[in-house]
């Protein structure tokens, strides 16, 4: 499901009321009966006006009618949920326009949006279950343990939980995007001018960056948290130019790590490194500016407490992901073992460190809801494959769309609009994948954000 906001301008106030009525009815009905929609929306035009809005909403794919339904009714689609979230942001004057999709993952879509002043922001749309449509029939019993439960419910829960984590992490001084607002299955946050680590071909000092990331894992542990998906997809690298005088001072504060670098090919180049071999003439005419590399952490719905049953497994996996990536990409291998979970466990809450896991748990998430969310996220992570190849979500998304079309029948003739929307976003998605898969030498003075979830 790709967000196409063009139809928003054509929806009337009555259409929004009917769409909201379908959402309200979805809390207790998988398929909301048409008479119930009429009762909740309470339009002045009566049943005739409600059915007119239903037809308009179904034509653009915001609601859908299931095949072989036992009664006349409609269900809310992801597109309808997207529109309701955008409508909320527009009412808050937080979002005025929707731009390009800058990231696509197995569990979310990332778009650039802007407010009325033109300030760009990031809109993250959670889409749990996108890669699970082929197995969702086998998991119907799991979903139906909760009345009205669905992937939309889990996506909403993931957004609420991630927003809560972002707020407490930001308050504690962690470098994360600023959470601005949250609605349904979406999060509105500040735009970070940075590249995901997986796109970075070289850095000036791999040992220093490695030490900083390991220190970040340990700092999270001290506050009672484990990221759970600490890899090159969920770490943004921000470049900040620094003065020559302050560079030497800043270097003293970088944690030290013993390690070794594997020998590189003779013809390899490093566009971001400040120690490349240059001729004396070039050094005199074009001195290369020094930069500070700062990691920014993203993607938090899967975070777990240090008291979690599988905490040691999640902690060790995060550490292993960093080690494996640095060896593969930067040819850097740390000679220091660890860090180890048993040592990190001893630091939890020490020196007055605030337990952020307790702070999020106190924000109203029930154990049952967290159990459902954890199971869903674990299924998504397992579906990525052994290498965590999240960049192939567009192919999975097309398969999911095809499977979803087999289960539902949309009212109205929407073949034309569906094809037109698919072609446009297909081209855009292909461009995004091309840029994400490009691991050649990157000019880090031209940074952008691409979510890796």
Kindly list the catalytic residues: 229
How far does CA 156 lie from the centroid of its chain?
Answer: 13
Q: Are 160 and 414 in contact (CB under 8 A)?
A: no
Token pair, residue 229, equals 């998906």
Closest among 115, 442, 22, 90 to 269, alpha carbons compared: 442
List b or e across 133-172, with b for residues whose CB sees 16 or more CB atoms inside 10 angstroms. beebeeeeeebeeeeeebbbbbbbbbbbbbbbbbbbbbeb
Please report the sign of the dihedral spanned by the C-alpha atoms of residue 116, residue 117, residue 120, residue 123: negative
Token pair, residue 370, equals 């967290």
Separation CA 287–CA 197 (nearest Å) = 26
Q: Are 129 and 154 in contact (CB under 8 A)?
A: yes
List b or e across 418-445, with b for residues whose CB sees 16 or more CB atoms inside 10 angstroms. beebeeebeebbeebbeebeeeeebebe
List b or e across 376-389, with b for residues whose CB sees 16 or more CB atoms inside 10 angstroms. bbebbbeebeeebe
Separation CA 216–CA 298 (nearest Å) = 13
């Amino acid at each position: 499901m790709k967000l196409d906001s063009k139809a928003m301008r054509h929806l009337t106030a009555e259409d929004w009321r009917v769409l909201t009525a379908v959402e309200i009815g979805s809390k207790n009905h998988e398929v909301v009966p048409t008479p119930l929609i009429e009762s909740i929306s309470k339009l002045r035009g009566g049943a005739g006006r409600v059915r007119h809005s239903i037809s308009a909403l179904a034509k653009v794919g915001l609601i859908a009618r299931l095949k072989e339904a036992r009664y006349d009714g409609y269900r809310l689609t992801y597109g309808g949920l997207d529109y309701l979230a955008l409508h909320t942001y527009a009412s808050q004057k937080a979002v005025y326009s929707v731009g390009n999709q800058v990231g696509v993952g197995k569990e979310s879509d990332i778009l650039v949006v802007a407010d009325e002043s033109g300030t760009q922001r990031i809109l993250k749309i959670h889409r749990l279950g996108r890669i699970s449509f082929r197995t969702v029939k086998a998991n119907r019993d799991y979903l139906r343990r909760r009345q009205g439960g669905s992937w939309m419910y889990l996506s909403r829960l993931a957004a609420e939980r991630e927003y809560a984590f972002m707020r407490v992490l930001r308050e504690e001084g962690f470098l994360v995007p600023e959470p601005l607002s949250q609605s349904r299955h979406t999060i509105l946050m500040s735009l970070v001018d940075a590249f995901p680590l997986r796109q970075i071909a070289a850095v000036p000092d791999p040992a220093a960056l490695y030490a900083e990331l390991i220190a970040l894992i340990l700092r999270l542990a001290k506050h009672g948290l484990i990221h759970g998906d600490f890899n090159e997809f969920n770490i943004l690298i921000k470049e900040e130019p620094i003065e020559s005088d302050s560079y030497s001072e800043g270097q003293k504060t970088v944690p030290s790590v013993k390690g070794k670098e594997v020998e590189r090919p003779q013809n390899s180049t490093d566009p971001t490194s400040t120690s490349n071999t240059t001729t004396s003439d070039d050094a005199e005419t074009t001195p290369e500016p020094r930069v500070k590399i700062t990691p920014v952490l993203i993607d938090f719905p899967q975070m777990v407490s240090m008291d979690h049953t599988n905490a040691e497994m999640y902690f060790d996996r995060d550490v292993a992901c960093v080690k494996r990536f640095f060896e593969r990409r930067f040819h850097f291998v740390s000679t220091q073992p660890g860090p180890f979970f048993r040592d990190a466990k001893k630091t939890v809450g020490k020196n007055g460190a605030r337990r952020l896991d307790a702070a999020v748990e106190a924000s109203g998430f029930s154990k049952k809801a967290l159990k459902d969310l954890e199971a869903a996220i674990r299924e998504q992570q397992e579906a990525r494959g052994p290498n965590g190849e999240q960049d192939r979500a567009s192919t999975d998304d097309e398969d999911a769309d095809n499977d979803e079309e087999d289960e539902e029948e949309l009212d109205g003739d929407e073949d034309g609009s569906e094809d037109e929307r698919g072609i446009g976003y297909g081209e855009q998605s292909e461009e995004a994948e091309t840029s994400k898969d490009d691991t050649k030498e990157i000019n880090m003075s031209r940074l952008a954000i691409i979510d890796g979830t």
